[in-house]
Amino acid sequence: PICHVAAWVALTDAPIEAGCMEVVPGSHKLGQLRHAEMQDPENLLSRGQALAVDVDRTRTTFMPVKAGQFSLHHTHLVHNSRPNRSSDRRIGLGISYIPTHARCTAKNRVTAMLVRGEDRYGHFDDERRPTVEAGPEERAFHADAVARFRAMNASLNLASD
């Protein structure tokens, strides 16, 4: 079973007019839905992911958050955000929580940071904690981790079931 929870931590307020996340409650029970890639210069998602199937959106709910608040959602929950139509920036930090027994199905290894417990599986390379803020080693490690993540993301076939 999929065992991934995403957290979105608001660093600035994210009201409806700023394009807060909207979700379809209960849609995580539908499982992994087919996705299509779209090329949209206005979309910040690395692959421009969009659902390739119809979903009943009559129960769509907005999830506005204030700076310092966060939302949690299952990775299969149908979710999106609209463009920011406010005069303020919408800034947040996305964090993925997975148990250590979970593994990436892509061929290349990516990094993860252990936040609790012990890793007995070694499915991810350790994302070490920085020793200084934005030092040269930290920046190089971050650049490598991002490149590995993007390579992994590009290798996955989102359009398959």
What residue ranges do the domains of the chain occupy?
Answer: 1-97, 98-156
pLDDT at 155: 80
pTM equals 0.79
- Cα–Cα distance measured from residue 142 to residue 50, given in angstroms and rounded to the nearest whole number: 27
Characterize the bridge pairing of strands 5-10 and 70-74. Answer: antiparallel
pLDDT at 159: 46
Cross-strand pairs, 6: 73, 96
Tokens read off for 147 = 């490149």
pLDDT tens track for 108-157: 899 999 999 999 999 999 998 899 999 999 999 999 999 998 888 778 76
Domain 1-97 fold = Jelly Rolls (2.60.120)
- Cα–Cα distance measured from residue 44 to residue 151, given in angstroms and rounded to the nearest whole number: 17
pLDDT tens track for 87-112: 999 999 999 999 999 988 888 899 99
